[in-house]
A and B are shown apart, each in its own frame.
Chain A
């Protein structure tokens, strides 16, 4: 079949978001997923975040980078913590911020996402920070916004949570300096985790050679190998010689749907205790995106212990989000 477009029947489209999230100069236009971003871009995000790290310690915690810009936090799914850090990041950059919690608003059923977007564009928003329960929601919105508007994915379904992954990478870089010789293990519900998918992609791009996921088979994606990670069903084997442990939050509703028998058994097999920490390297770093279910994913002693960098992650979350907002809106300044 001769065709004007590539015939769908013979195309071999690997998922590629680069055309959507990069501008013609290769800069960030949207920030939707780690997939397809280069090591240089990820490094630039961490470098810019580094430069913003001191802002929080100043007497006046503000820089005038995004003065006059309007950022809309568009949360179709509830999240206090993530929204707060985006809110704070935008305010420290001197942007005007609107928080819209669509999940609890009365219009959530009647109005389509496109109608919501059109209305907000009419109010001259420059950026949407989007969280939604559907995988692909941020891509959908980015495909439908006007050219001057940037979209940042603050978590879409089980697909991606790229700012969380970048703050985790930023934290790992602060602690371990270099990625190339690290063994990293992610423990928990990988199947439903947008955080894990983005982390695995970022770790791969940054050169980590041994990425492990540790979980029961019910909580692993069917094709984990294609993501570039090795699966372990046994915590002891999975943690052997590991430099960084990333714990995931376990959603309580997984118990009711025949994915897990009980929190008790999960903790016994996959929960992190001081004793199990000894399987890893002595200087192992323990991370968690929060909020922690103490006694389900990990012991309080581990969460609050010497290996834990959980609060450092929270602090870094603001700097990384400032960096991503600056880099994406920097695009629109150039583009006019």
Chain B
């Protein structure tokens, strides 16, 4: 289908471009910018006056719950929520049942995503069989089946010997390894940041060292093995400075932070509000500020860390609730809020949500170059909306922002030049 997007402000930091231009789409690709191609006949024209045209966002970390946890969410429900929030591709963690450790599970997920017809779903295969941390998965087979990376997330239950060998083996097949930097033994049964709130509420704390000890070990192993590693869900200031040094030393290590970590702190846990029970934990205000600085400086990309849950998962005393926020739909307004507050530029927003993640995954998307797949979202930056059941598409209502007014909303989303969301 030929699509013309008219009069919108095109924001494409990958090409250093920001300005009003018409976008011409044909055969699923961006055919031309500004000048109408000869013989182009638009079958659909979108008037994007006063709206922003951005490359579709690429999420580096989401749990889509299918197969195995359909009572929480499905690939159809979450990929639909994703496109409504500007995401055109979502990487899914292997924490399904059965675990995504065989090509057949990867195929099932890809089939379900195609059948749903919303965002691209990019599976992360399990790094170890059953995510148990003992035996390497058949990474070559997983790669052939369409896995874009291998991962031990959302847990990091793997000992140093298996980890080192897994990195060597992944390197052999040139596979990206996605890890959640967390020393599970130091974390133990912790459920909040070890600090003021854990001390006062008597909740088991997760020290910053649980994150930094894991990163220190990984930096050494990445340097030695030459594997490419992406860390998902950074939570501390110390981790940001460790990553900055590693990247400066040309160690192949990238990282992301969940968008809500740029806003919330441990104090938001208040008196045991389980909606703020999240992993990694919300840390101090200075950690939050350093994470934002990490995004501004390009050390960190931004992911959703989407963890949809059924209501019952949060209806228990705090330590017995399941961690996680249903976050796909709040990422863009939370990022736009930072732009509004002049803490982040618009091009940094697009880089951290679209171009950066695409580069890490080696995709052609994340930019609005001529010839690139037409994965695009169009945003009305000033539109306000309230988060409630009516305005929410994820099956998980577990968001601390329920009832809040948000500013900035997606009006249209295109995946491979196909309109998958439009208001």
- Give the docked Cα–Cα distance between A140 and B317 (Å): 6
The answer to whether A15 and B271 have CB atoms under 8 Å apart is yes
Smallest CB separation, B196 vs chain A (Å) = 5
Q: Determine the chain A residues whose CB is within 8 A of the CB of B251 once the complex forms.
A: none
List the A side residues contacting B404 at CB < 8 Å.
Answer: 1, 3-5, 7-8
Contact with B along A184-228 (1 / 0, CB 8 A): 000000001010010000000000000000000000011110110
A135 contacts which chain B residues (CB < 8 A)? 201-203, 272, 317-319
We find that the number of chain A residues with CB closer than 8 angstroms to chain B is 43
Inter-chain CA distance A135–B269, complex, in Å, is 13
- Known contacts being A158-B202, A226-B199, is A4 close to B316, with CB within 8 Å? no
Are B272 and A14 neighbours in the complex by a CB distance under 8 Å? no
Q: How far is the CA of A132 from the CA of B202 in the complex (A)?
A: 13
Is B400 touching A15 in the complex (CB atoms < 8 A)? no
What is the number of residues of chain B that contact chain A, defined by CB distance less than 8 Å?
41
Structural contact, A112 and B272, CB atoms closer than 8 A? no
Is chain B's binding surface mostly helix, strand, loop or mixed? mixed
Choose among A14, A137, A221 the residue that contacts B198 (Cβ–Cβ < 8 A): A221
Residue of B199, B264, B319, B403 touching A5 (CB-CB under 8 A): B403
The interface residues of chain A lying within 8 Å CB-to-CB of B315 are: 112, 114, 144
Within 8 A of B (CB), among A1-40: 1-5, 7-17, 20, 35
Contact B337 A159 (CB under 8 A): no
Contacts of B296 in A (CB 8 A): none
Do B316 and A3 touch across chains, with their CB atoms under 8 A apart? no
Listed residue (B202, B334, B386, B407) with the most chain A CB atoms within 10 angstroms of its CB = B202
Q: Which of B245-269 contact A (CB under 8 A)?
A: 263-264, 267-269
A9 touches B334 (CB 8 A): yes
Residue of A nearest to B401 (CB): A8
Task: Assess whether A139 is interfacial by the CB under 8 Å rule.
Answer: yes
Interface residue A160 (Cβ < 8 Å from any Cβ of B):
yes
Partner of A3 from the list B198, B272, B312, B405 (CB cut-off 8 Å) is: B405
The verdict on A159 contacting B203 (CB below 8 Å), with A13-B268, A135-B317 known, is yes
Q: CA A114 – CA B272 in complex, angstroms?
A: 16
Chain A residues with CB under 8 A of B272: 135-136, 139-140
- Complex contacts, A9 vs chain B, CB 8 Å: 263-264, 334, 337
Q: How far is the CA of A227 from the CA of B200 in the complex (A)?
A: 7
Q: Do the beta carbons of B268 and A159 come within 8 Å of each other?
A: no
Q: Which of A3, A157, A222 makes the CB contact (< 8 A) with B194?
A: A222
A112 to B314, CA, bound (A): 12
Q: Which residues of B contact A137 (CB under 8 A)?
A: 317
B195 touches A4 (CB 8 A): no
B14 at the interface (CB under 8 A from A): no
Q: A1 with B337: in contact, given A222-B199, A222-B205 (CB under 8 Å)?
A: yes
Interface membership of A156, Cβ < 8 A: yes
B319 neighbours in A (Cβ, 8 Å)? 134-136, 157
Q: A1-B406, A8-B400, A9-B337 are in contact. Are A156 and B199 (CB under 8 A)?
A: no
> Residue A300 at the B interface, CB < 8 A?
no
Q: Is A97 an interface residue (CB 8 A)?
A: no
Q: Is the C-beta of A182 less than 8 angstroms from some C-beta in chain B? A: no
Contact of B270 among A2, A16, A224 (CB under 8 A): A16
Q: Inside 8 A of B197's CB, which chain A residues have their CB?
A: 15
Bound CA–CA A7/B337 (angstroms): 11
6 closest Cβ contacts across the A-B interface?
Answer: A158-B202, A136-B272, A9-B263, A134-B317, A159-B202, A221-B199
Residues of chain A touching chain B, judged by Cβ–Cβ distance below 8 Å, are 1-5, 7-17, 20, 35, 112-114, 132, 134-137, 139-140, 144, 156-160, 192, 194, 197, 221-224, 226-227
Offer 17 A-B interface pairs, CB within 8 angstroms, sorted by A.
A1-B404, A1-B405, A1-B406, A1-B407, A8-B263, A9-B263, A15-B197, A16-B271, A112-B312, A114-B315, A136-B203, A136-B318, A136-B319, A156-B202, A160-B202, A222-B194, A227-B200
